[in-house]
Amino acid sequence: MEEHRVSYFRFQWHGLVAALAALFVPTCFAAEDSPADPVTTDWYATFAAWEKAHGEDYVGRLCGGDVAWGESYILRMYVNLYDTFGERQWLDKIVSHVDRLLANLSDKPPLPPHTRVAPEYLDGYLGWGQSRYAQYRPHYTEWLCDDGLMISPILRFVEIVWNDQRLHRRYRDKADHYLEFLEQFILEKWYRNWDADPGWTETDNSRFRQDRGYHVYEWAGWRNQPLNMYLAFTDGLVTLWRLSSAPNYKPHRPELPKFYQTESRRMLKYFHGQLRVDNQRDLNVWKYGPNTHWPELIEDVGHGFIDIQAALQGVRQKTYFSETDLRRMGQTFVQNVWNGDLRDPQFHYYLDGAPSQYDATRGYWGFGFLYLAGYDYRIWESMASYFDKHVDLLKQQPYIAVTAAMLAIATEQHDRWAPGAPRRLVARQRAEDLLLTWQPPTADADGTPLTGVHGYVVYQASRGDSKARRLNDGAIKAGQYVVAGAAEKSARYRVTAVDYRRNGNEGPAAEIAVAPQ
């Protein structure tokens, strides 16, 4: 695997991402990069702490909008964390949450929080219904987007379990049940009411495209939804397309497998057709919803999270999307969204980089672009630098708090560069002990800007020892370490820096030899 390192540019492919044959370096940014200050946050530990405090806050909500735009992010991170770290605790959490979510669904929506339920919704089908948006309040509605946000991570759990026999004994029955349940109560509902573009207008029974037609019984078709609203459902359909090709798959209806394939292909094709390529800068910009009330509105970084997930599905399924599209999406963030400064990063809210009143308050919502950090590691560096300095993720709502998980995952997957050696290692005698002190490295081991230092490891080798032994278990956070009772012993000491990858990335050592006075 070839690895490109030019100035501050970092490219590393992982999983879906294959090595580029040539490196595109936008010259307009080469002089604007400034090395980031060392990042001090342990992102994995931060998300684990947030999840411990707030991971149960949304699973019991009765408003589908709260569940879809809160709980779905938590489920997605459970899936992503298992994919990256292979820890079954995240699968256990998925099972615990999904069991409760499905148990809360019923054909008759609870009153409260819903106060008006149209009789057509008592149809035998279920959904994560809501009544919180102004154009429908207080009427209960079930939205394609909300259902899509919820089914997509559940279906990825099913796929993970099906594809790994080691998981069958513990999780297979749950995975089979979830798939059967979703097909019977969610997928068939949309299949029976499906139409890409019914062609309704404002005069047709009050059903019209502009800011209406988002729920199943006032349905204006997926083409007339904002892109993120229908792409949330596309994500799940693509996974169902793969699942339906498994030999053990048994469809709830025989027509469903063809429906999954045909409609997900149409949706991906339509989305790909909305991408506007800037060939000079090799990036993509797309709109929020061409056939909606806001036809000229550019997509924003927060909803882009959903769009990028759909594009990743397209690449995995080899359907309309390619590695080139993902790389261009990464460059959209690097060149349009981010200001190019690693020491003081700022972000635009809209993908075209036009200044907006939302830049300061929402510009940093672009955590979905961390999926693309393998194409340009400055995506990670800029977001890590910003969140490390400015955002207390423990106090955030799920759609921001999951940034910690995304940063931890991107670090594990794409940070292949170890920190440089600690600087100015000094040994001082303190009574019977020896005090080692040092300063952080200023760059990675290859001389390029530092991608983060999690802590330090101290080794000791006594006279005549050929191999040094590690003195500390966890990484030392401070730039000092006391070796008890070592003042009068001859020894060699080595201190290395480690970054945030949980599976390694330890840099070269600073060394010092100590002999008793």
Out of 416, 433, 449, a domain closes at 416
Residue 295 forms part of a structural domain: no
How far is it, in rounded angstroms, from Cα 480 to Cα 474? 14
Q: Does residue 509 share a domain with residue 427?
A: yes
pLDDT score for 30: 33
Which residues on neighbouring strands pair with residue 116, listed in sequence order? Answer: 139
- Is 498 part of any domain? yes
- Give the angle 396-451-343 at the CA atoms, nearest 5°: 70
| Pick from 43, 37, 24, 163: nearest CA to 414 | 43
The total of structural domains in the chain comes to: 2
- Find the helix or strand (DSSP H, E) in which 302 lies: none
C-alpha 514/C-alpha 243 separation (Å) is 62
pLDDT at residue 138 in the model: 84
The confidence score (pLDDT) of residue 410 equals 95
Determine, yes or no, domain membership for 465: yes
Q: Which of 254, 18, 228 is nearest to 144 (CA)?
A: 228
Please report, for the domain that includes residue 448, its CATH number. 2.60.40.10
Separation of alpha carbons 492 and 463, rounded Å: 8
| Per-residue burial over 266-299, b = 16 or more CB atoms within 10 Å of its CB, e = otherwise | bbbebbbebbeeeeebbbbbbbbbbbbeeeeebb
CA–CA distance, 393 with 401 (Å, rounded to integer)? 5
From 368, 399, 416, the end of a domain falls on: 416
Statement to judge: residues 435 and 397 lie in one domain: no
Task: Let me know whether 7 and 23 are in one domain.
Answer: yes
CA 119 to the chain's CA centroid = 39
Kindly state whether residue 20 falls inside one of the protein's structural domains: yes
Q: Is there a single domain that holds both residue 490 and residue 450?
A: yes
CA distances from 372 to 202, 385, 471 (A): 40, 17, 37
Q: Cβ neighbours of residue 203 under 8 Å, at least 6 residues apart?
A: none
User: Which helix (H) or strand (E) element contains residue 325?
Assistant: helix 323-332
| Closest to 311 measured CA to CA, from 301, 297, 299, 325 | 325
What's the rounded Cα separation, in Å, for the pair 154 and 235? 11
Helix residue ranges, H only, 363-427:
378-390, 398-414
- Both 456 and 389 in one domain: the answer is no
State which of 397, 416, 435 marks the end of a domain: 416
411 and 427 in one domain? no
Estimate the crossing angle of helix 43-54 against helix 72-85, to 10 degrees.
Answer: 140
Q: Is residue 188 within a helix (H) or strand (E), and if so which, with residue range? A: helix 188-192
Q: Give yes or no: residues 394 and 457 share one domain.
A: no
Q: Is residue 17 part of a domain?
A: yes
**Cα–Cα distance for residue pair 90/72, rounded to 1 Å:** 14
Examine residue 102 and state whether it is found in any structural domain, yes or no. Answer: no
User: Against a cut of 0.85, is the pTM above it?
Assistant: yes
Q: Are 178 and 158 contacting, i.e. CB atoms less than 8 angstroms apart?
A: yes
CA atoms of 79 and 95, how far apart (whole Å): 11
Taking a C-beta distance cutoff of 8 angstroms, is the pair 87, 81 a contact? yes
Residue identified by tokens 């056939």 is: 291
Task: Specify whether 471 is located in the same domain as 433.
Answer: yes
Query: Does any domain span residue 124?
Result: no
Per-residue model confidence as pLDDT tens for the chain (517 residues): 333 333 334 433 333 333 322 223 333 333 345 566 777 788 999 999 999 999 999 999 999 999 999 999 999 999 999 999 999 999 999 999 999 999 999 998 888 888 888 888 999 999 999 988 878 888 899 999 999 999 999 999 999 999 999 999 999 999 999 999 999 999 999 999 998 888 766 666 555 555 678 888 888 889 988 999 999 999 999 999 999 999 999 999 999 999 999 999 999 999 999 999 999 999 999 999 988 888 999 999 999 999 999 999 999 999 999 999 999 999 999 999 999 998 899 999 999 999 999 999 999 999 999 999 999 999 999 999 999 999 999 999 999 999 999 999 999 999 888 999 999 999 999 999 999 999 999 889 998 877 778 899 999 998 777 789 999 988 898 899 999 999 888 999 999 999 888 777 899 999 999 987 6
- For residue 149, what pLDDT is reported? 98
Q: Enter the tokens of residue 60.
A: 């019991």
Per DSSP, helices labelled H in 8-87 are 27-30, 43-54, 64-66, 72-85
Question: Do residues 449 and 378 touch, judged by C-beta distance below 8 A?
Answer: no
Say whether both 435 and 499 belong to one domain.
yes
Cross-strand pairs, 350: 300
Burial (Cβ within 10 Å: 0-12, 13-18, ≥19) of residue 136: middle
pLDDT at position 220: 85
| In a domain? residue 161 | no
Domain that includes residue 340, residue range:
1-57+329-416
**Per-residue pLDDT tens digits for 421-446:** 999 999 999 999 999 999 999 889 99
Please choose, from the candidates 154, 120, 82, the residue with its C-alpha nearest in 3D space to the C-alpha of residue 409: 82
Mark whether 404 and 436 lie in a shared domain: no
Considering the domain architecture, whether residues 460 and 506 belong to the same structural domain is answered as: yes
Q: Are residues 428 and 500 in the same domain?
A: yes
What's the CA gap between 262 and 197, in Å, rounded?
15
